Amino acid sequence: MNARGLVLLCLATILTACGNNNHLPYPRATMFPGSEQQKIQSAAHWDVLARHESEQILAALGTLEGDMPPSLHLGDPARNAGEFQSVWHNMLVTGLVNQGADVMLSREDALFTVEHEIQVVEHSSREKLPPRPGSVTAFLAMAAGIDDTQYWEDQGLVLIPVALAADLWNKFQRDTNAEVTEVIITTRVLDSRRIAHASTRVYYFNPEDIAHYRSQGRTFNVVAAGSL
């Protein structure tokens, strides 16, 4: 074995030893299985979510099978509620009324109280998601097909693989951008003794729309007692 082969063998041995190192000062970070999360992009989406939530509330109370409709009280949105929270409140009222619920004006006249909370999560940064498996092979195949068009009798047919490549690009790149803003919608239905229904749902939204989801109240800096 020459000197070059010996050096490569030593490097391979060292890399193998490093890869098999099971003694770490902290656990390795692993990824969750791939999943999908819906993205809100219009007020029409808000209405879809509110109607779905109203159906879930009535299903949890057992009133979708012809039973007596429940009496619910939603109150008024908070004074510093953001646009989404205010509209969500109104859409939820509409959905419940359309589903047959009795939405009462006074808390004392209702058996159940509906509460909802809106929280915004803004991630500082996220890595761009990798392309879907098969995208590299597909584009290389398209490139090879376009290169072979020099032997075609009708050169105008080259537009076909070009168009296919453009469509594949849109297909494979549609979900590679990493979203950084999320909204958490929590809804609870309470009676005098218990929580009869609770749901928490998480959605993405466009970062430019963050003002819709944040409350309109003032923000105060909290100073630790030790710094006074």
pLDDT confidence bin for 165, thresholds 50/70/90: confident
Give the whole-angstrom CA distance, residue 169 versus residue 188. 43
Residue 141: name the closest of 172, 112, 187 by CA. 172
In this structure, what token pair is assigned to residue 209? 């729309």
Question: Could you read off the pLDDT of 118-156 as tens digits, one per residue?
Answer: 999 888 766 666 666 666 676 666 676 666 666 666 666
Domain ranges, ordered by start, for the chain: 39-124+178-216, 128-177
Give the whole-angstrom CA distance, residue 176 versus residue 125. 14
pTM of structure: 0.67
Question: Could you read off the pLDDT of 168-220 as tens digits, one per residue?
Answer: 666 666 655 567 889 999 999 998 889 999 999 999 998 899 999 988 654 43
Give the whole-angstrom CA distance, residue 50 versus residue 28. 40
The domain made up of 39-124+178-216 is a member of CATH 3.40.50? yes
Residue-level pLDDT at 218: 45
